[in-house]
Amino acid sequence: MTAPAATEFEPAVGLAIKQRVRRAFDQAASSYDAAADVQREVCDRLAGLLARDHPTLQPATVLDAGCGTGYGASGLAARWPQARLVLADFAPGMLRAARTRISDAALACADIEALPFPERCFDLYWSSLAWQWNDPQRCLEQARRVLRPGGVLAVATLGADNFPELRHAFSEIDDYTHVLSIPSPERLLAHCRNGGWRVRIWERQPVRRHYPDLRTLLRSVKDVGAREVEQRRPVPLSRSAWRQIAARYERWREPAGLTLTYDAIWLIAAD
């Protein structure tokens, strides 16, 4: 069975939060690459782990699930120029940006929790920093469905201890959740093992960045589409509230600046 032809699909997004996330990433498509240094670092590490664990891998069909602007896909295309490459993302703006990087890949505007592809049509399922916006168990089930027997799963995602500095800074302001809630990565690992996957690599490591002030830090988050800090509160915060937040965040200042920590997870498994 061959991979599907280049087609536009509408994502099966039902929850309001996914609609917000989709809009945020659609709007961030033009600013994403300039701000996505953490995303590139995580993606590059995933590529390195995959090359180390599967040095002779030669997939005929490759899916990039949640491709964003195509940074990861460009690396996949360079490593396997003869492979049939399919890029899936639920933000049309991201797909348009990816098209400028890779002109001959098939595009699918699709929810990675409900992929519009037939069973067993890919040799490699790749996804870098997309699962955290979805239900990881559903993503895992979809990966199993579309991978051929013996196929390889390569995923980078985020753990539950993401942005602890932001959670601390907002913790005494109100009762709203200002940072994306992510299931425990141990649950994902358990689902993977219980589902019959052979886990080859499982790594968890913080990835940190420093910023001169809170405004610049929050802009870096917004520019990559992660707008949950403001989207979950029905009314804007007051100036006095923002001053309190900035003061609390100063406790996290280091000589290099205000810290922001991503709880990065890398998973390589075989079907």
* More confident call, 13 vs 23: 23
pLDDT of residue 170: 85
Give the pLDDT score at 215: 92
Q: What is the DSSP code string of 44-84?
A: HHHHHHHHHH-TT---SEEEEET-TTSHHHHHHHHH-TTSE
Could you give the domains of the chain? 16-161+180-209+261-270 (3.40.50.150)
**Model confidence over 42-68: pLDDT tens digits?**
999 999 999 999 999 999 999 999 999
What SS3 class is residue 256? coil
pLDDT tens, residue by residue, 102-143: 999 999 999 999 999 999 999 999 999 999 888 899 999 999
For the entire predicted model, the pTM comes to 0.87
Model confidence band, residue 9 (pLDDT cutoffs 50, 70, 90): very low
Evaluate whether 224 touches 39 at the Cβ level (below 8 Å): yes
Displacement of CA 26 from its chain's centroid (Å): 14
Q: What local confidence, expressed as pLDDT, does residue 168 receive?
A: 87
Confidence of residue 19 (pLDDT cuts 50, 70, 90): confident
Find the mean pLDDT for residues 165-176: 79
Among the ranges given (77-91, 184-198, 222-236), the one the predictor scored with the smallest mean pLDDT: 222-236
Could you give the percent of the chain with pLDDT greater than 90?
64
Nearest to 134 by CA among 183, 72, 99, 179: 183
